[in-house]
Amino acid sequence: MKTRLKELLDRRPKRRIADAARVPAAVLIPLYRDGGQCHVVFIKRTETVKDHKGQISFPGGSRERGDETLLDTALREACEEIGLRPADAEILGEMDDEVTTTSNYLVTPFVAAIPWPYRFVVNGNEVAEIIEVPIPALLAAGCRRPDTEVLDGRQVASCAYHYGGRVIWGATARILNKFLDMLDV
């Protein structure tokens, strides 16, 4: 899995967005294998965080002064939010930049393989729960549904993923959609 994903990510062109008006941010897409299936790790944000209250997302956040790169941001945030040590994240590549519609972030996603089983340490101030979803479930009929978002004042077609009574939408769903499309399974 890791070798194939690394090759896919290395050879695909990255869509960069240059927008100085948006806040630079990064997320980590943690993946692990268990029971013969690849799983994606998401978090549900608490109702007390500044932005994206109660939303399902990848671990991540805005770039801070001490972050030399956006990869540093993604790794720092994953460590802060779910206790994923940077040394335990094998970076496989980078996805296209995405913008958020409910806030003003420009998000750069990084894909990482992590060991399994893993003992996550949840930061209860930021994360209400960790959600682990097998990729086949995300690809199942009815999981991905059409959605609409408002981006820069205009409606745009999007998608949302419905799994286990939860809805993954917005920039997270768009990033996830591109990742799953890249797999071409």
Query: What pLDDT is recorded for position 104?
Result: 85
Name the percent of the chain lying above pLDDT 70: 96
52 within some domain: yes
Does residue 133 surpass a pLDDT of 90? yes
pLDDT digits (tens, 9 = 90+) for 147-174: 998 877 888 889 999 999 999 999 999 9
**Mean pLDDT of all residues in the chain?**
92
Residue 42 lies in a domain: yes
The yes-or-no verdict on residue 178 having pLDDT over 80 is: yes
Give how many domains the chain has, as a whole number.
1
Question: Looking at residue 154, what is its pLDDT?
Answer: 84
pLDDT of residue 115: 98
Burial class (CB in 10 A: 0-12, 13-18, 19+), 23: middle
pLDDT of residue 19: 86
- Write out pLDDT tens, residues 80-130: 999 999 999 999 999 999 988 778 889 999 999 999 999 999 999 999 999
Sign of the CA dihedral with 27 first, then 107, 97, and 16 last: negative
152 occurs within a structural domain:
no
The answer to whether position 151 is within a domain reads no
> Given this model, what pLDDT does residue 54 score?
64
Report the CATH number that the domain containing residue 115 is assigned in CATH.
3.90.79.10
Q: Is 159 a member of any domain?
A: no
Q: Is the pLDDT of residue 49 over 70?
A: no
Query: Which phi and psi (to 5°) does residue 129 adopt?
Result: -165, 160
b/e 66-99 (16+ beta carbons within 10 angstroms → b) = ebeebbebbbbbbbbbbbbeeebbebbbbbbbbb
Q: Say what the pLDDT of residue 52 is.
A: 58
Res 101: pLDDT: 79
Q: Is the pLDDT of residue 47 over 90?
A: no
The C-alpha atoms of residue 150 and residue 169 are separated, in whole angstroms, by 12
Establish if 121 belongs to a structural domain. yes
* Whole-number Cα distances in Å, 158 to 10, 91, 182: 26, 27, 17
Range of the domain at 97: 2-138
Backbone angles phi, psi at 158, to 5 degrees: -145, -160
Give the DSSP H or E segment for 120. none
pLDDT recorded at residue 7? 94
HEC-encoded secondary structure of 71-116: HHHHHHHHHHHHCCCHHHCEEEEECCCEECCCCCEEEEEEEEECCC
- Give me the helix-helix angle, 170-183 and 2-11, nearest 10°: 100
